[in-house]
Structure 1
Amino acid sequence: MARDPVLIFTEKGIYCPDGDFFIDPWRPVARALITHGHSDHARPGHGSYLATAAAAPVIRHRLGDVAMDTIAYGEPRRIGGVTVSFHPAGHVPGSAQIRVERAGEVWVVSGDYKVQDDGLSEPFAPVPCHSFISECTFGLPVFHWQSNAAVMGQINRWWAANAAEGRVSVLGAYALGKAQRILTGIDASIGPVLTHGAVEATNAVLRAQGIRLPATTQVTAGVDAASHPGALVLAPPSALGSVWAARFGPAAQAFASGWMALRGVRRRRGLAQGFVLSDHADWDGLNAAIRATGAERVFVTHGYTSVFRRWLETQGYEAGIVATEYEGEGLDAPEAEVIAPPAAEPTT
């Protein structure tokens, strides 16, 4: 007689009935297991939180004094009728895939992940399973990432050229993960590195955990192009073109994102320069990660779900779509020349 699934999909999030917990729920629940600290996965209002020891400080920084328990990578923990463990996702520092086992049947929830080693996050580790719930933010063949070193080289050359012309370089990058990845990879000898307050606050949390980052100066009153000529400024994407950024005069502005792989996105955002850099897996990375799990059944969430599910079915997988409220790597809707991610579809 067939048993109920290990994980089910509800209006509050991904739920484990045998353990009575949710994974990255988007509605308040009593017990939440959290893959990482980005706001679409770690939300306020839960009764208790469980996350990796490396992810917990950022979650506390964002959510305040929540009831938080931590777990080491690979540490098995019994919760009700299942055993859970957290495994590196390679997305941002402390990010995890969550493995749930019941009587030998294994399900894994990927959270957000990338297979490319960024020199900052704990490298992605495939987890064998029967059922894999995978993001597919960039689930189209057009998305193909260059090596981390190659992109950092591009950023360094852009920054150095701007500095030689006496201009500040303002680079849009998400405050958790992307900004620190850039800090880890750039050549800090080119010039001073300035940070928006949101980026610097996250830097402080990660430094307190022992993560080494180059020296940075937070942008405050009096910190501008005159005081720091030729600087690289790391700021959230929303700061590009803002009054905040105007203090740097006719600065060069760019955005680091996987969406820069799409023709027209950079132009629509009024940017002369963009860098294709993502903390999510590209097409090849998604396929490699799924193959490495050995899973027979794959559910896809947030991104090009319809396209990617159909592709998986042609590859022999039993595939379905999970309607979630995760956002992936946010940006304006992609250009019409690329198939846009559809609205959430019924869970199958």
Structure 2
Amino acid sequence: MQPVLTFTDSGIYCPAGDFYIDPWKPVERAVITHAHADHARLGNQKYLCSKDSVPLLQLRLGQDIAVQGAGWGETVQINGVTISFHPAGHMIGSAQVKVTVGGQSWVASGDYKTENDGLSGEFEPVRCHVFITESTFGLPIYHWRPQAALFGDMENWVKENEAAGKNSILLGYSLGKAQRLMYNLQHTGKRFLVHGAIYNAHETLLKAGWNLPPVELITQETPKEHFKNSIVIAPPSTADSTWMRRFAPYSLGVCSGWMQVRGNARRLNADAGFAISDHADWKGLLGTVKETGAEKVFVTHGFSSVLARYLQENGIPAEEIKTAYGTEEETTV
């Protein structure tokens, strides 16, 4: 029997349907798991994604792209192949793609996390014959504390900064992480001041009907007094930039799963590191593989060799696959 999905130089390919999932080279038909740049690239002729991803794809790739959205669990037929989207919990609109051909179901999970952050949707394990999983944090050392505890630490940090007369700056990826931070810190009553990259994504989501707190775009004219009693949220690329100098004196906090490892915060000249990730930790990855009931697992970007070997040693056929994923800022901070 021919595999439902194959791995090619252009991306994950479905021969029976003649489409690709998250292709990294331009193709005719692209099925997209989510709107991060390493999974949703410009140049494809037709795009298919979850309904919630449509405005984000248009933001990233242009309003004129040919894009179709499907609801959760809704089936779409392409050349007789059945496709459905299921919540991945990674960010708003992120989906796992289930592809069924002749009674065989494969699931390409894209990026996912198993803890519900209150905004990105509840992760849904999908039963399948073959599962394609990421492994960004595929090492036993990566074990996330509950989200409530992490945000409690952030709140205390902000209070300590205020007591010391410092402004609070949190670094998080502009699409996904930034919205998660604001959504879960809005009860503090602080004003959110944001970098332009975050503002654009925020405005797109507000127009799409998402219930997010108001933000203020930081410009050259933003009064310094607005920095007080506020939380500044910026992308990681602004660290150690001239853009940051306007906030002095300030304390810098980096929000990333990589902060689980001691020394990473110091390497980025950060005052605090919060190990909050939009990817599954080691237990989340293993638990998901088990819940899918998959007879075979393909492991993509991250610590793929480690996870694949562990699964093999525990009786689950697994294989490491090289892809072009994992180039988003989450992987660099």
- 1:15 equivalent to 2:13? Answer yes
- Structure 2 counterpart of 1:281: 280
The Cα of 1:314 is off from its aligned counterpart by: 1.1
Paired amino acid for 1:51: C
Deviations 1:153-201 (A, max 9, x none): 1111111221222211111000111111111111454532100011111
SS in 2 for 1:100: strand
Q: Contact 2:193 / 2:216 at 8 angstroms: preserved in 1?
A: yes
The Cα of 1:328 is off from its aligned counterpart by: 5.9
Paired amino acid for 1:251: Y
What is the aligned-residue identity percentage?
47
- Structure 1 counterpart of 2:136: 137
- Structure 2 counterpart of 1:45: 43
Question: How many angstroms apart in 2 are the aligned matches of 1:217 and 1:164?
Answer: 23
Counting only pairs closer than 5 Å after superposition, residues 27-176 of structure 1 correspond to structure 2 as 27-64=25-62, 65-176=64-175
Question: How many angstroms apart in 2 are the aligned matches of 1:160 and 1:54?
Answer: 35
Question: How many angstroms apart in 2 are the aligned matches of 1:167 and 1:224?
Answer: 16
Q: What TM-score do the two structures reach when normalised by structure 2?
A: 0.97
Question: How many angstroms apart in 2 are the aligned matches of 1:161 and 1:190?
Answer: 16
The Cα of 1:240 is off from its aligned counterpart by: 1.8
- Structure 2 counterpart of 1:26: 24
Counting only pairs closer than 5 Å after superposition, residues 167-186 of structure 1 correspond to structure 2 as 167-186=166-185
Question: How many angstroms apart in 2 are the aligned matches of 1:191 and 1:130?
Answer: 47
Paired amino acid for 1:40: D
Moved more, 113-122 or 75-84: 75-84
Question: How many angstroms apart in 2 are the aligned matches of 1:326 and 1:204?
Answer: 27
SS in 2 for 1:226: helix
Question: How many angstroms apart in 2 are the aligned matches of 1:39 and 1:333?
Answer: 14
Q: Contact 2:33 / 2:97 at 8 angstroms: preserved in 1?
A: yes
The Cα of 1:332 is off from its aligned counterpart by: 7.3
Counting only pairs closer than 5 Å after superposition, residues 229-268 of structure 1 correspond to structure 2 as 229-268=228-267
Q: Contact 1:35 / 1:95 at 8 angstroms: preserved in 2?
A: yes
Question: How many angstroms apart in 2 are the aligned matches of 1:55 and 1:29?
Answer: 19
Paired amino acid for 1:193: F
Q: Contact 1:224 / 1:248 at 8 angstroms: preserved in 2?
A: no
Question: How many angstroms apart in 2 are the aligned matches of 1:215 and 1:243?
Answer: 26
Question: How many angstroms apart in 1 are the aligned matches of 2:326 and 2:332?
Answer: 12
If each structure's helix is expressed as a fraction of its own residues, which one has the higher value?
2
Paired amino acid for 1:56: V
> When the two structures are aligned, how many residues end up with a matched partner?
332
- Structure 1 counterpart of 2:198: 199
Question: How many angstroms apart in 2 are the aligned matches of 1:266 and 1:200?
Answer: 25
Paired amino acid for 1:47: Q
SS in 2 for 1:186: helix
Q: Contact 1:90 / 1:124 at 8 angstroms: preserved in 2?
A: yes
Structure 1 residue runs of 5 or longer lacking an equivalent are 335-348
- Structure 2 counterpart of 1:322: 321
Q: Contact 1:298 / 1:319 at 8 angstroms: preserved in 2?
A: yes
Mark the CA change 1:157 to 1:270 in structure 2 (over 3 Å): closer, same or farther.
same
Paired amino acid for 2:135: C
Structure 2 residue runs of 5 or longer lacking an equivalent are none
Q: Contact 2:173 / 2:329 at 8 angstroms: preserved in 1?
A: no
Paired amino acid for 2:233: L
Q: Contact 2:173 / 2:330 at 8 angstroms: preserved in 1?
A: no
SS in 2 for 1:227: helix
The Cα of 1:228 is off from its aligned counterpart by: 2.8
Deviations 1:254-310 (A, max 9, x none): 100000001211111111201010000000000111110000100000000111111
Q: CA RMSD in A?
A: 1.4
Q: What TM-score do the two structures reach when normalised by structure 1?
A: 0.92
The Cα of 1:149 is off from its aligned counterpart by: 0.9
Mark the CA change 1:259 to 1:244 in structure 2 (over 3 Å): closer, same or farther.
same
SS in 2 for 1:55: helix
Question: How many angstroms apart in 2 are the aligned matches of 1:91 and 1:80?
Answer: 29
- Structure 1 counterpart of 2:303: 304
